[in-house]
Structure 1
Amino acid sequence: MPKNKLVAPEQESFIQGRNALLERINHGDISIGEAIRTMRELLGMTQTEYGEKVAKVSRKALSQLENNQGDPRLSTINRCCKAFGLEAGLVQKRL
């Protein structure tokens, strides 16, 4: 009989948060900035930590991205999303 895999509460919370985020992305209910902020928060990182360790951008640049300001490069957006197995792409505009 296979053993049930135990999941730590913080890991379970992360999985639930990630699944909720993916659902919002699939429904088009979240901006790129909001999605990146949510990813960072799910990882429990500050803007400085996420910028330096994940996105390779300054805290200021990450803040602008999270607030849907500025004009980020596609490569920057992709670096921010890579930790979640995501990348920027095209979706049909909702009417």
Structure 2
Amino acid sequence: MTRARKPIDTETSIAMREAFYEAVDSGGLNIAEGVRRMREIVNMTQPEFAQWLKIAPRALMDIERGVGNARMSTLLKIAKPFNLQIGFIHKPKK
């Protein structure tokens, strides 16, 4: 049985996107958390989000759990609707 999702109002959606992009810009998200937050912003279940992105549901589940080894092509499909790029970032030693 599919769970009904509570609709997200426009104001909340905008706030979620702004917080997401701030976290991305600050380097405060790992891939798993970032993908989960993207899915929540568009208010979709994992199967719905995977279908929308044209990726395998299992690949999405593994990414959100932080396991497996996602293909670059899969990450690019996830990033595209949010106008994000995939790449390496230099992180200085502390």
| Shorter-chain TM-score tier | 0.7 to 0.9
1:27 corresponds to: 26
Kept in 2: contact 1:40–1:47 (CA 8 A): yes
Which residue number in structure 1 is paired with residue 90 of structure 2? 92
Residue of structure 1 equivalent to 2:5? none
Structure 1 residue ranges (4+ consecutive) displaced by more than 3 angstroms after TM superposition: none
Normalised by the size of structure 1, how large is the TM-score? Answer: 0.82
State the shift of 1:19 in Å: 0.9
**Cα separation, 1, equivalents of 2:52 and 2:59:** 14
CA deviation string 1:15-66 (max 9, x = no partner) = 1111101111111111011101100011010100110112x22221101011
Query: Please, which of 60, 63, 68 is the counterpart of residue 62 of structure 1?
Result: 60
Give me the identity figure in percent.
34
- TM-score normalized by the length of structure 2: 0.83
* 8 A contact 1:77–1:87 mirrored in 2: no
Gaps of 5+ in 2: 1-7
The higher radius of gyration belongs to 1
**Structure 1 unaligned regions, length at least 5:** 1-8
The question of 1:47 aligning with 2:49 is answered no
How far off is 1:91 after superposition?
Answer: 1.2
CA RMSD of aligned residues (A): 1.4
1:3 equivalent in structure 2: none
May I ask how many residue pairs the two structures share in their alignment?
Answer: 86
